[in-house]
Chain A
Amino acid sequence: MPKLLITGGAGFIGANFVLYWRRLYPDDLIVVLDALTYAGNRADLDAMQGE
């Protein structure tokens, strides 16, 4: 199974990339590493909750 580490994956561009990749490759394992400072927001990944 391909594994991706996405830094900044809760940010404006990062979260959209995570959601886009998830649609394309739902079987891939995605790990998001985000400092959650000024731009990162966990809620931007709400669509993936429970996965």
Chain B
Amino acid sequence: MQAIICRFGTIFGASPGMRFHTAVNKFCWQAVMRQPLTIWRTAYDQKRPYLELGDAVRAITHIIERDLFDGTIYNVLTLNATVRDLMEVIGKLLPDINLSFVDSPIMNQLSYEVSAQRFIDRGFTFTGDLQRGIGETVALLKTANRG
């Protein structure tokens, strides 16, 4: 069987059917609803890979169109970012966000930065943008919150 393995970053971005189970979208939801954003202090500056929804969809398309089922593992991510990075972007859009820091130890103390170079070398260009993705998500949520 021909296959490919994609290690997707944590997905973010606006969609007709929204999901709020992952970090960026959940933070946007809490911020728009004026709920406190709970953050593990020790994780505030840990990096994690994130993937914009449009990049995810185009990446799958890229694979199918090129029949790229080469048995290889690819990291697929738009960017690596810390929770602090996310807060700075959300905070510009919603300056009155309320951060609630938790000092309990967390199990995963690793900060990791992932490279998508192998997938880029297969001709893919990531075009997602954290500020744009968060901006679109916040705008969509504000519209929904008016109801």
Contact = CB atoms under 8 A, between A and B. Distances in A.
Interface in B12-59: 15-19, 21, 53-54, 56-58
Interface range for B: 10 to 19
Given A41-B17, A46-B16, A47-B16, A13 B61 contact: no
B68 interface: no
A4 B63 CA distance: 14
A47 B18 CA distance: 15
A4 B134 CA distance: 31
12 contacts: A12-B17, A12-B53, A13-B56, A13-B60, A15-B15, A17-B56, A20-B57, A24-B61, A39-B21, A41-B17, A44-B17, A46-B16
